[in-house]
Chains A and B, each alone.
Chain A
Amino acid sequence: MLELLALTKRFGAVLALDGLAMTVGPGRIHGFVGRNGAGKTTTMRVILGLALPDSGEVRWKGRSVTADERRQFGYMPEERGLYPKMSARDQVAYFARLSGMPSGEAAAAADEVLASIGLGERALEPVERLSLGNQQRAQLAAALVTAPELLVLDEPFSGLDPVGVDVLAGVLRSQVDKGTAVVFSSHQLELVERLSDEVTIIDAGRTVASGTVAAVRASRGTDLIKVALQDGRTDWADRLDQVAVVGREGDVLVLELKPGADDQAVLDAARRAGRVRSFRREYPSLTELFREVVSR
């Protein structure tokens, strides 16, 4: 279990992290979302020890994380990086050895992980001669070679075609099946919603929502009701206590259900106003939640 406790980090005049908190459990995929500059990359660098927080703590398995533990974490930085003239096999083995693996074991682990992500054939070529997709695979192999218990991936899906996305999603799923904790950041919120067991939304260095998508929805999200009457009237709900009118889309009235209010009472009110053509409960997508949360 990875725990980030009240991390703060200042770069000059910029407060990059402002009390950020997050928890990632073993065997869970944790989506990490926020606007550009919200502090995602800084958070990941703090997890890996590449940047030091001004205050707060990174805990791993209930204790303050050690440098040796960090070396075992798998990391894929946002700016991909491999030695262009070295073969994928050589450098994946090299990173394994830097993590402390003995020489023979590192070579075997490199071969195994490269084969498992479908790069076995090309693994002996210099990385610069591989296609971008295959370079991305080599990068992933470098993160996976130590069989890490924590995988930190900064924008792993950016630049991937739909097939690549599916392959990577499959790899992540097989990792969490082995008990690995996975944190990944992404701007593709539909993807995050589909893949993640849990999400954390941050804004300006602060955690604004965290937990399962359903929990985030329950805590932060607002349940919407969209109602259309046969005669197109949209003024009937203005005085209703249970809801607030949040918008009108043509003759469709968009209502926000107040906490504890009963949607059936709203339906009754609508029926009193006229013939109901459609009445729909809408659960906000992660995208909508995100928009709502970060615009506050």
Chain B
Amino acid sequence: MTRWQVTRLVAGREIRERVRSKAMRISTGVTMLIILAVAVLPGLVGDDGPTTYDVGVFGPRADQLAERLPVVAALSGEDVIFDVRPLPSMAEAERLVGDGDLDAAVGDNEVVVDEELGDRLGFLVQEANRQVVGESALAAAGVPPDVADRVLLPEPLPVRALDPPSEEETEREGLVFVGTMLLYGQLLGFGYWVASGVVEEKASRVVEILLAKAPATQLLAGKVAGIGVIGLAQLSAFMVVGLAAASLSGTIDLPSGIVPVAFQVVGWFVLGFAFYGGLFAVAGALASRAEELQSTTTPLTFVVIGSFFAAVSTGGDPGGSVAQIATYLPPSAPLVVPIRVAAHEVGVGTVILSVTIVLAGIAGVVGLAGRVYAGGALQFRGQLKLRAALAEGRQVEREPAA
């Protein structure tokens, strides 16, 4: 049998057995429900409408304040409505504010609130007060009301943006970020499947028969490929269903160019999984029982989580130094590069360089993993040191192929 045939055979078994497994079906179903909820709910709930402030006015300037508050709200551009109530006394104001019936009560020279006024309401109330005070002062100075209004309520300045963000671009960046989060989940989740698959074969001792039939590297490649294919299919299904649901329910309008973005995420999954899958297999080969996986996968989990934080940082600042460094490191590139591409931060040359570095990383991982797997797979007792597995593996790998 050729290497390719062995790899395909092993991958085929992985796919068949995983698809049949209840755990896989349940986890897929649950994740799909969460994605549907996230995609559909915002569209169904829709915009939650303007904020309404209940404000009482009392004292000698109550009528002027009641008149000014809605005007200020309208001019501010904020989506707020004032429900203004004239109050007979400060005592009544304190009672209603204390009971929570009013957000605030504005008197002659104070604002009564229960705990605090808040920035938005505070600005609007103070602005209304300034206008009332100004209006009185201008009237006392003999300025006619229409002139006073022009002074107090000038036309808002128009804004001229030099580089206005396109709504599509913002949405695309958002979608890439969500895609990257999914990618992170798939890499970690399916990486763990690889590690536990390897340790299951050790725990059930079936690995000894497997190694008598096929070389370690191909057994490993088949396992990573088989589990990777399922991860890829699941990721694609999540993206298609999530995007379709979000678009149909009106949560988002699909931006143009979303298809290349989706393909990019899928492509980075393939590279990322080839890299991480091999490393997770090493973690599996170093353990003898499922209980030991926790400790043998810990260093790797830190690497994945670190890469995730690099991706979060890149989402906030696609041109920052974290983003730049992470682009050229095999563990983080799959999570960081799609975000930077969507933000137009990197060109084709950078992507090619990054892919090349990741491919080199994969080559290194495959060599390492095959050796550790061959050396560690037949050590059935206790957790193994990486160095010991490598030493034993070097010996077995040395065997000339027939």
The verdict on B13 contacting chain A, using a C-beta distance below 8 Å, is yes
Contact in complex: B212, A81 (CB < 8 Å): no
Contact in complex: B399, A81 (CB < 8 Å): no
Give the residues in chain A near B213, CB-CB below 8 Å: 71, 95, 98-99
Contact in complex: A98, B208 (CB < 8 Å): no
Query: B383-401, CB under 8 A of A: which get 1 and which 0?
Result: 0000000000001101101
Query: B4-31, CB under 8 A of A: which get 1 and which 0?
Result: 0010011001000100010000000000
The verdict on A249 contacting chain B, using a C-beta distance below 8 Å, is no
Pick the interface stretch among B104-112, B199-207, B305-313: B199-207
The verdict on A70 contacting chain B, using a C-beta distance below 8 Å, is yes
> Which A residue sits closest to B202, measured CB to CB?
A81
A202 nearest CB across to chain B (Å): 20
A91, B214: Cα distance in complex, Å: 15
The verdict on A236 contacting chain B, using a C-beta distance below 8 Å, is no
The verdict on A116 contacting chain B, using a C-beta distance below 8 Å, is no
Q: Which among A52, A75, A77, A98 is the interface contact of B214 at CB below 8 angstroms?
A: A98
The verdict on B211 contacting chain A, using a C-beta distance below 8 Å, is yes
Give the residues in chain A near B82, CB-CB below 8 Å: none
Contact in complex: A67, B399 (CB < 8 Å): yes
Query: A87-111, CB under 8 A of B: which get 1 and which 0?
Result: 0000100110111100000000000
Contact in complex: B212, A97 (CB < 8 Å): no
Give the residues in chain B near A48, CB-CB below 8 Å: 212
Contact residues on A (Cβ < 8 Å of other chain), bracket: 20 to 34
> Which residues in window 231-276 of B have CB below 8 A to A?
none
Contact in complex: A75, B206 (CB < 8 Å): no
> Which residues in window 50-90 of A have CB below 8 A to B?
50-52, 66-71, 73, 75, 77, 79-86
Q: Which among A50, A83, A85, A100 is the interface contact of B211 at CB below 8 angstroms?
A: A50
Give the residues in chain A near B6, CB-CB below 8 Å: 98
The verdict on B188 contacting chain A, using a C-beta distance below 8 Å, is no
A73 touching B209 in the complex, CB below 8 Å, given contacts A67-B401, A67-B402, A86-B17 = no
Contact in complex: A50, B378 (CB < 8 Å): yes
> Which B residue sits closest to A143, measured CB to CB?
B209
A26 nearest CB across to chain B (Å): 20
B365 nearest CB across to chain A (Å): 24
Give the residues in chain A near B399, CB-CB below 8 Å: 49, 52, 67
A79 touching B205 in the complex, CB below 8 Å, given contacts A68-B402, A98-B6 = yes
Contact in complex: A49, B212 (CB < 8 Å): yes
Contact in complex: B210, A98 (CB < 8 Å): yes
A255, B204: Cα distance in complex, Å: 51
Give the residues in chain B near A79, CB-CB below 8 Å: 205, 208, 380
A86, B16: Cα distance in complex, Å: 10
Contact in complex: A97, B209 (CB < 8 Å): no
> Which A residue sits closest to B16, measured CB to CB?
A90
Q: Which among B13, B206, B212 is the interface contact of A50 at CB below 8 angstroms?
A: B212
By CB atoms of chain B within 10 A, which of A81, A83, A95, A99 has the most?
A81
A51, B402: Cα distance in complex, Å: 16
Q: Which among A85, A86, A98 is the interface contact of B9 at CB below 8 angstroms?
A: A98
Contact in complex: A82, B206 (CB < 8 Å): yes
A75 touching B212 in the complex, CB below 8 Å, given contacts A52-B396, A68-B402, A100-B1 = yes
Contact in complex: B205, A81 (CB < 8 Å): yes
By CB atoms of chain A within 10 A, which of B9, B207, B213, B402 has the most?
B213
A49, B401: Cα distance in complex, Å: 11
Give the residues in chain A near B208, CB-CB below 8 Å: 50, 75, 77, 79, 81
A97, B396: Cα distance in complex, Å: 23
> Which A residue sits closest to B211, measured CB to CB?
A50
Give the residues in chain B near A85, CB-CB below 8 Å: 17, 21
A291 nearest CB across to chain B (Å): 29
B25 nearest CB across to chain A (Å): 14
A94 touching B13 in the complex, CB below 8 Å, given contacts A67-B401, A73-B212 = yes
Contact in complex: B209, A51 (CB < 8 Å): no
> Which B residue sits closest to A74, measured CB to CB?
B212
Give the residues in chain A near B206, CB-CB below 8 Å: 81-83, 91
B199 nearest CB across to chain A (Å): 13
The verdict on A220 contacting chain B, using a C-beta distance below 8 Å, is no
The verdict on A142 contacting chain B, using a C-beta distance below 8 Å, is yes
Task: Kindly list the 6 A-B residue pairs having the minimum CB-CB distance in the complex, ordered from nearest.
Answer: A81-B205, A67-B402, A81-B206, A66-B402, A98-B213, A79-B205
B residues neighboring A (CB under 8 Å):
1, 6, 9-10, 13, 17, 21, 201, 204-215, 378, 380, 395-396, 398-399, 401-402
Please give 12 more A-B residue pairs, beta carbons under 8 A apart, in addition to A71-B213, A95-B213, A97-B9.
A50-B211, A51-B395, A75-B209, A77-B208, A79-B205, A79-B208, A80-B205, A81-B201, A81-B206, A81-B208, A83-B17, A83-B206
Chain A to chain B contacts (Cβ below 8 Å), 10 pairs: A45-B378, A67-B401, A71-B214, A75-B208, A75-B212, A79-B205, A80-B205, A81-B208, A95-B209, A98-B213
A residues neighboring B (CB under 8 Å):
45, 48-52, 66-71, 73, 75, 77, 79-86, 91, 94-95, 97-100, 142
